Amino acid sequence: MNQSIIFTDQQSWDGNRKVVVFVGQQSGNLIECLVSAHYLENLSQLQIDDEVMALKVFSEYRFDLEDLAEELIEAEEFNQLGQIEIN
């Protein structure tokens, strides 16, 4: 694991966009990472109907999702808003 990227313990559900939002920090910069409900459904083979289920599935796969986000950050795969999207 690259120690230059650290992920906080915070995560939240954005019901409008249907994504779980979590934050990474690299060289003092905060990077918002988004993982879609669709991606979580494919990963877990469960249907994501609400915030509770989304955050539960995210927690179960957190380390894998952080590893993926780290790879995307290192590859500089940012969207136009400077976010990392896992779809």
Compute the distance between CA of residue 16 and CA of residue 18 in angstroms, rounded to an integer: 6
Compute the distance between CA of residue 19 and CA of residue 7 in angstroms, rounded to an integer: 17
* Residue 2 pLDDT exceeds 70: no
Across 58-77, average pLDDT: 97
Task: Show Cβ contacts of residue 30 under 8 Å, excluding neighbours closer than 6 positions.
Answer: 23, 24
Alpha-helical (H) ranges within 12-50 are 37-44
Mean pLDDT of the chain: 95
**Residues 44, 48, 50, 51: is their CA dihedral positive or negative?**
positive
**pLDDT for the residue 4:** 84
* pLDDT tens string 18-58: 999 999 999 989 999 999 999 999 999 999 999 999 999 99
Q: Map out the domains of the chain with their CATH numbers.
A: 5-86 (3.30.160.140)
